[in-house]
């Protein structure tokens, strides 16, 4: 094999890489611009004002990416979110997820701290996956500070299997509705 063979081989390989639609690393600024479409429901800066809509601020980027892809594929069912996610490219999903993950979800000053001791003891088994302070870990979502009504709805969805969630279906099945109430109140107020 001569040098020109190698040269054309290298050219071929570089052209394949430069023309294939690779997803580049996340662009938070582009994510912020695209995320203006989300604030009507998820609130300004990803802080929701209603238990119908989850906070996205401070959520794990990898988890957000996975959920947006799950809405696109129909693995996770919600008509509103399925239509919102339908038009997002892979790159936009990466950018938007990194943007929301970068936003703080700090507690409002002077908000009442609800310490629900029973709820706390029932969440001990959750922290191995959801992080020692329930602020998420790797692709496991943050639960701390999430809207309590949203947490409750998702746990019921896992329990009745209208949402598929790997280990969450059997975990939620083992919880009573009262457990779910207490756990959601406790985590939402963390």
What does the binding site for ligand HEC look like in residue numbers (CB under 6 A)? 37-38, 40-42, 52-54, 56, 64, 66-68, 78, 80-81, 84, 96, 123, 125-126, 128-130, 140-141, 143, 151, 153-155, 165-168, 171, 183
**Cβ nearer to ligand HEC, comparing 28 with 126:** 126
Give the nearest distance from C-beta 95 to ligand HEC in angstroms. 10
Q: How far apart are alpha carbons 183 and 181 in whole angstroms?
A: 6
Q: Are 39 and 56 in contact (CB under 8 A)?
A: no
Which residues touch 61 (CB under 8 Å, ≥6 apart)? 26, 97, 98, 100, 101
**Cβ nearer to ligand HEC, comparing 91 with 123:** 123
Give the nearest distance from C-beta 142 to ligand HEC in angstroms. 8
**Cβ nearer to ligand HEC, comparing 18 with 35:** 35
Dihedral angle sign, alpha carbons of residues 141, 147, 153, 159: positive
Which residues touch 22 (CB under 8 Å, ≥6 apart)? none
**Cβ nearer to ligand HEC, comparing 2 with 36:** 36
């Amino acid at each position: 094999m001569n040098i020109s063979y190698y040269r054309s081989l290298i050219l071929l390989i570089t052209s394949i890489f430069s023309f294939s639609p690779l997803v580049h690393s996340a662009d938070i600024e582009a994510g912020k611009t695209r995320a203006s479409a989300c604030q009507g429901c998820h609130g300004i800066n990803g802080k929701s004002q209603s238990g119908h809509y989850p906070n996205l601020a401070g959520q794990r980027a990898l988890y957000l990416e996975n959920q947006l892809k799950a809405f696109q594929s129909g693995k996770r069912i919600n008509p509103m979110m399925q239509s919102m996610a339908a038009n997002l490219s892979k790159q936009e999903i990466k950018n938007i997820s990194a943007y929301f993950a970068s936003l703080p979800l700090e507690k409002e000053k002077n908000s009442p701290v609800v310490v629900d001791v029973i709820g706390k003891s029932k969440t001990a088994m959750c922290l191995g996956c959801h992080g020692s302070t329930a602020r998420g870990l790797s692709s496991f979502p943050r639960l701390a500070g999430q809207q309590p009504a949203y947490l409750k709805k998702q746990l019921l969805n896992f329990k009745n299997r209208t949402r598929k969630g790997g280990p969450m279906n059997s975990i939620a099945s083992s919880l009573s509705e009262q457990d779910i109430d207490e756990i959601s109140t406790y985590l939402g107020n963390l």
